[in-house]
Amino acid sequence: MASRVSAMLTSALMLAVALNFEPTRAGMTALILSGPNPMRRLSAFLSGIYTMGLIVGLLVLFIFHRALLGSSDFGAAKVQIGIGFAALVLAALIAANIKLPTRSRRSSTSGVPADAQQNELDLDKVGLLTKLLTHSARVTSESPPWVLVVLGMACSLPSIDFVAVLVLIAASGAPALTQIGVLLLFLTVGNSATVLPLLSYSIAPSRTIDKVQAFQRWIRSRSRRDFAVMLAVLGTFFIAAGVTNL
């Protein structure tokens, strides 16, 4: 039991760290900190994230877990291997499409310097996110706190990594209190990009805003290849951990 809980906890922490690289949450945190009453608004946004995460997590772990695992005996090791293979497949799909936009652009921009083409590709890559965040700036600065609670709940809607963590926790067979503790740990570590700025803003507001904005720019500057590599490393880790725990 101890080894299964340890394997589940390690896997949950790995997925939680990866969750911090989601562009939407980093962008929302940066926008909220740049607006009025950042502490109050960021607290509301974070409370929405925790509320949705706990509601979905507790429902799945203690009510709907049999629908996810079925009647078969799914061990945590098998779940880890399954998550690892899924991550590798997703990484391969992302990497396989990495040159498609470049070819299309080059076919219609003959004579345009390579650097200019690359700049246009970078703008295309982050254009949708930039428009979304620009539109969200007015919402985060002018709306009442309850709107930010709703936004936090929307950002915390079940994702693939969150479902994977819930399956891991349910398959571990750990006691109920342990499962709840791991769920809370996952939500805290997985939202470190929001939790840490909330804690540090009262001490060093300007430095906190600079760090959050720098982190947001770094995420937005990552290429598809970078994310494919990250997924491949994560998938390899999960397969190795699953095979070890069989």
Percent of the chain with pLDDT over 70: 74
Report which of residues 181 and 120 the model is more confident about.
181
pLDDT of residue 125: 42
pLDDT of residue 120: 43
80, pLDDT greater than 90:
no
pLDDT digits (tens, 9 = 90+) for 155-180: 888 777 888 888 888 877 788 899 99
- Contact of 78 with 244, CB cutoff 8 Å: no
pTM of the model: 0.74
pLDDT of residue 185: 94
Residue 127's pLDDT band, with cuts at 50, 70 and 90, is very low
Residue 36's pLDDT band, with cuts at 50, 70 and 90, is confident
Count Cβ atoms below 10 Å from residue 92 Cβ, excluding itself: 14
Q: Calculate ∠ Cα 47-48-52, nearest 5°.
A: 115
C-alpha torsion 59→64→69→72, nearest 10 = 130
pLDDT of residue 33: 87
- Contact of 21 with 230, CB cutoff 8 Å: yes
Count of alpha carbons within 13 Å of 69, Cβ hemisphere only?
25
C-alpha torsion 9→49→52→70, nearest 10 = -30
- Contact of 48 with 191, CB cutoff 8 Å: no
pLDDT of residue 117: 46
CA distance 191 to 161: 13
